[in-house]
Chains A and B, each alone.
Chain A
Amino acid sequence: DIQMTQSPSAMSASVGDRVTITCRASQDISNYLAWFQQIPGKVPKRLIYSASSLQSGVPARFSGSGSGTEFTLTISSLQPEDFATYYCLQHNSYPFTFGPGTKVDIK
């Protein structure tokens, strides 16, 4: 199975900050990378798929980039509702695999 890593594992940020999370795959996955947001007690929500395609209804402050083995999720201006855990997912081959998550909390 393809292994996924994320950095950082946790971070503190303020409202209005620009936040960048990195995800790396253990092998080339082309652009088959998605990002999910999970608020405690809630079902995970897809933000981005195919590395840079924004899910319908997701605010434009979220963006994704990368290809091959290195990817980034950027939140251009962090909002109060964005404090959550973010997971990357490779959707190149089955079974899909998630990264370990990045928890973004309030500074």
Chain B
Amino acid sequence: EVQLVESGGGLVQPGGSLRLSCAASGFTFRDYVMHWVRQAPGKGLDCISAISGTGGTTFYAESVKGRFTISRDNSKNTLYLQMGSLRAEDMAVYYCARGGTGDPLDPWGQGTLVTVSS
């Protein structure tokens, strides 16, 4: 069974940092583009970052460019999101999802909540 499990969310102060992880199982992880998608409370879905299977190419939405870094460790079947200079507007549930242009965003993990507050 294909499974994605996020971890690392929690409470962080404005300006702080946090690293999210997404553990993948049930498929050949290195063969797939992976994404981070977030959803602020009561708001819509927002694709914030993607990374190629090798990790050599990364993409970011303007809202997080320069503050967040996506990476992956294919030996550990794990995707990461290093978040820095966190702002109140970064508060959201963060999901990881699998898939490239031909088979997008399926499946998703269950999500991890990031709360930014002093």
Q: Which residues of A are at the interface with B, using a C-beta cutoff of 8 A?
A: 1, 32, 34, 36, 38, 43-44, 46, 49-50, 55, 87, 89, 91-101
**Would you call B50 and A89 a contact (CB within 8 A)?**
no
The interface-forming segment of B20-28, B82-90, B99-107 is B99-107
A1 to B46, CA, bound (A): 12
**Would you call A89 and B104 a contact (CB within 8 A)?**
yes
| CB within 8 Å: A-B pair count | 64
* Residues of B with C-beta under 8 A to A87: 44-45
Return A57 CB to nearest CB of chain B, in Å. 11
Partner of A95, one of B48, B95, B99, B103: B48
Known: A44-B108, A95-B60. A49 touches B47 (CB 8 A): no
Dominant secondary structure at the B interface:
loop
Known: A43-B108, A43-B110, A44-B108. A94 touches B59 (CB 8 A): yes
* Residues of A with C-beta under 8 A to B2: none
Q: Which residues of B are at the interface with A, using a C-beta cutoff of 8 A?
A: 33, 35, 44-50, 59-62, 95, 99-106, 108-111
* Residues of A with C-beta under 8 A to B111: 43
Known: A43-B110, A43-B111, A87-B44. A95 touches B50 (CB 8 A): yes
**Would you call A49 and B45 a contact (CB within 8 A)?**
no
**Would you call A95 and B44 a contact (CB within 8 A)?**
no
What 7 A-B pairs are tightest by C-beta distance, nearest first? Answer: A91-B104, A94-B59, A96-B47, A98-B45, A46-B106, A95-B59, A101-B44
